[in-house]
Amino acid sequence: MLMSLLDGHPECLVYPNEPFFYSLFKRNLRASNEQIRKSFLIETRNSLHCGDARSELEPMLSGREEIELDAVHDALQSIATHKEIRELRESHFPHDAFFSIYFSRLVADLKSITDASPKLYVKAAFSALREAISATRPEMRAGSHPVFKDPLGHFRPGALDWFLDTWPDGKIVFLRRNLNARVWSHIQHDVRRGRPNIRMSTDKSSFKGLCKSYARDRVYSSVLPDSDRLLKIDYEELVTRPRETMTRVCNFLGIEFNECVMRSTILGIDATPKTNRTGSNSINTNSLTKWKDNLTKTERLIIRYYFLRASSRKLYSGKSFSSQAISPA
């Protein structure tokens, strides 16, 4: 939701969906340029890239000292005909043209990268995005500030260092959520993907493990230092006080507040983000209290127990960052 609110801002260039750039950095600290290329195209969970077309690209990327990018380009042009950004309807957005241009620019930039630096690949993704938007959405102003979401499944000290160290001028908006709501959201996410229903009554061990992990996350995040590089906001604040919260976000990012940040868009088109289950592109509070009607009393007590245990063990007494890139305000 936060990303879709920033999407229409004329000073921002928001990468649609979740690119998972974090995994690109985490897995490729000592990788060769060719290994990073392969990871970037098909191994990183990036819905704009080609994990869903692995079988078509794998023969061109595996067991080769140097990737034949011209052949990859031709394959990507074929793949582009059936790629889509899920939240945008075909009648409202030229998916084929967007992906064809995106892939063409991306491959052109990959040819020019000689340094095995994941940062250059992130830059290439945004260059490709800018060119694809310019060609397919000429009425949209794609701003100079690149913005992407990288969810951290389990937040631990040092987890943000890759970003802080790689982009010295970069800023992080760290979004937190009510612990009960986060557990319930995880359960629903698993059910939608056909995974086993993790509940206290059906999978006691997994449910407790989930509560323990998220409780630790909450305790760690509670002591993230306030600074000019990191802003903490709560999802509940974003939903119940959107104007006030988005004003804080814009001020923190150094961009002027614009009314467009009060509605959800994707590539400038009114759209419902996948985090919004109401079918509306407006900010709503429907998702805030669903956990109250679905988590049992026992489950809530378990969640509360692990939060209190994590807090009492003073997990927050150590440093939240190993990097010196961020310092308390």
User: Which pLDDT does position 274 carry in this prediction?
Assistant: 57
DSSP 3-state assignment of 232? Answer: strand
Kindly report, residue by residue over 178-219, the tens digit of the pLDDT. Answer: 999 999 999 998 888 888 889 999 999 999 999 999 999 999
> 279 falls in which pLDDT band (50, 70, 90)?
very low
Rounded to an integer, the average pLDDT of 44-64 is: 86
Percent of the chain with pLDDT over 70: 90
| C-beta separation of 328 from 320 below 8 A | no
User: Which pLDDT does position 319 carry in this prediction?
Assistant: 47
Q: How far apart are CA 179 and CA 195, in angstroms?
A: 21
Q: How far apart are CA 296 and CA 185, in angstroms?
A: 14
DSSP 273: -
What pTM, to 2 d.p., does this model score? 0.88
Longest dimension (CA), the chain: 59
* CA dihedral for 133, 134, 136, 139, sign (positive or negative): positive
Rounded to an integer, the average pLDDT of 304-317 is: 81
Backbone angles phi, psi at 176, to 5 degrees: -110, 170
Percent of the chain with pLDDT over 90: 59
Q: How far apart are CA 32 and CA 55, in angstroms?
A: 22
Full set of structural domains in the chain with CATH: 19-147 (no CATH), 161-317 (3.40.50.300)
Tokens 């049992």: give the residue.
296
Kindly report, residue by residue over 16-29, the tens digit of the pLDDT. Answer: 989 999 988 887 66
Backbone angles phi, psi at 71, to 5 degrees: -70, -40
Q: Please report, to the nearest 10 degrees, the dihedral formed by the alpha carbons of residues 45, 48, 49, 55 taken in order.
A: 90
Q: How does 219-237 read in b/e, with b if 16+ C-beta sit within 10 Å? A: bbbeebeeeebbbebebee
| C-beta separation of 60 from 74 below 8 A | no
